[in-house]
Amino acid sequence: MIRSVPHLNSGTVADPRRSGAGGDGAGLKPGMVFKATVVKTLDPGSVMVRINGREMTARTQVPLRQGTVVSLKVRQASGPLVLQVLDQRVGGRFSPRIGRILSILHGNPWKTLLAHLNQKPSALDDLGRLKAALDGLIREPWRDPGPEMLRTVIDRSGLFWESKLRRLLETNRSGKESASLLAQKDLKGALAKCITGGKDNGDLIRRLFSLLEQVQRFNHVARQEDGRLFLPLPLQLPDGETNVAQILIRPDREEAKQRPEDSEGGFRLSLVMALSAMGPLRIDLSVRQNRIRSVFMVAREASRQVILAQMPQLGQRLADQGFSFECSGCLLRDAKTVSRSPLIDDGAKAGAAQIDCMA
C-alpha cells in the first residue's frame, strides 16, 4: 500500500483527478491501467511518484527504487483514488508471500520439526537447544495455563527476535553469550544458530525459519498499512495434540465510525484453529474499551451445542473481569469455510501492492 501525503517542498500536490488526469477530465474508471514513475526515494518508507504528470509524496510499505516505472490499475475511482500495482517484481524478495505462508502453515512445521528432533538422542548442542526452544514454545505454557500463557507463547514464537536483539544492544548487554542465552527461549534465534552452525537437518529447519521470515515481512507491511498483525502460534491441546492457532488482529475502523464518541480505539481479532474433539473453530471478536462482541463458527452441530452451552459461563467470567460480552451466535458452516485462514480474507489488502491517492 502506498498512501500519498503532501510534500512541503514540491508545491501543491493534487489528486490526479483534479488536473485532467481523471474525474470528468480523463474519466478514470475502475479497471483502467496506466504507468507511474518513482521520482526519488525520500527516506525508508517514503517515495515521490509521478502519476500522469503530477508529483506526489507517498508512504510505502513495499521497497520501490528511484526510476522504477510501475503499471497501475484503478481499483477505486470514487472517493479516495486507489490504484493497484500490477508488476509482480515490485517489492522484490522483501515483499510478503502469502501463498508460501499458507503452504508452510498447512504442514504444521512446528509439530513436524519437533517430532523429527524427538527421534534424535538428547545433546547439549544447537539441535538440543532448538528442541528445548520448541518445547518451551509448544508444551511448557500448557503446564501452567493462565492469563500470561498467550503472552509467553508470543514472546517465544520467534516473530520478535530482531526486536529482542536490538533491545539487547541498547541496554549494553551485547555479546555472544548474552545472545545465546536469549536464543534459548526464542524459536527464530534457535533456528538461526542451527542454520549458521550447519545443522540444517534437511529442509525442516529452513522451512520453519522461512515461514517466520515471511510472517515478519507481512506484519511489517500490514502494521504500516493499517495496524494489522498476524500471529500463527503452535499450541499443544490438553489431549497432547499440537495444532496451529492463526490469529489476525486489526483496528476496528467500522466500530470507530459508528461510535466516534469513544476516544479509545478498538480492534478486531479473528482466530482459526482445529480442536481435536470439536473440529475446526473460528472466532471473530470486536473489542472496544470494555465491550466484547463475538461470532463463533464451527463445522459440527455437536460442537455448536457445546459452545452455546458454555456462553453463559464465558459471559460471567468476562463480566467478573469488568467486560461486557455479547455473542451474536454460533454459526454452522462447512469445514472448508470454518478452516479458511484469516490471511486469505485479508490477502486482497496485504498481498497486492496498492497506491492510495488521498486528497
Over residues 79-97, the pLDDT tens digits come to 666 666 665 455 544 456 7
User: What is the signed CA dihedral for 76, 77, 83, 84, rounded to 10 degrees?
Assistant: 40
pTM of the model: 0.70
In the prediction, which pLDDT does 359 show? Answer: 33
In the prediction, which pLDDT does 59 show? Answer: 60
In the prediction, which pLDDT does 208 show? Answer: 95
* CB-based contacts of 72-78 (< 8 A; 24+ apart in sequence): 72/33, 72/34, 72/35, 72/36, 72/355, 73/31, 73/32, 73/33, 74/28, 74/29, 74/30, 74/31, 74/32, 74/33, 75/30, 75/354, 76/30, 77/17, 77/22, 77/28, 77/29, 77/30
- Write the Ramachandran bin of 175: left for phi over 0, alpha for psi from -120 to 50, otherwise beta: left
Per-residue pLDDT of the chain (359 residues; tens, 9 = 90+): 444 433 322 222 234 443 333 333 346 788 888 788 888 877 655 677 787 788 877 665 566 677 778 777 777 777 666 666 665 455 544 456 788 899 999 999 999 999 999 888 777 788 999 999 999 899 877 776 666 788 888 999 999 999 888 888 777 655 555 778 888 889 999 999 898 887 665 689 999 999 999 999 889 878 877 788 999 999 888 888 899 999 999 998 765 555 555 556 789 999 999 998 899 999 999 999 889 999 999 999 999 999 999 999 999 988 998 889 998 889 999 999 999 999 886 654 444 455 554 33
Cα separation, 103 vs 344, whole angstroms: 12
What's the DSSP call for residue 121? P
Over residues 235-247, the pLDDT tens digits come to 888 888 899 999 9
Adjacent-strand bridge partners of 193:
none
In the prediction, which pLDDT does 73 show? Answer: 75
In the prediction, which pLDDT does 267 show? Answer: 92
All structural domains of the chain: 2-95 (2.40.50), 96-226 (no CATH), 252-353 (3.30.750)
In the prediction, which pLDDT does 23 show? Answer: 39
Please count the other Cβ atoms lying within 10 Å of the Cβ belonging to residue 52.
Answer: 17
DSSP E strands, 27-137 = 33-43, 46-51, 54-60, 69-76, 81-85
Cα separation, 135 vs 330, whole angstroms: 33
Cα separation, 19 vs 26, whole angstroms: 9
Contact 230, 245 (CB under 8 A): no
**What backbone phi and psi angles, to 5 degrees, belong to 92?**
55, -145
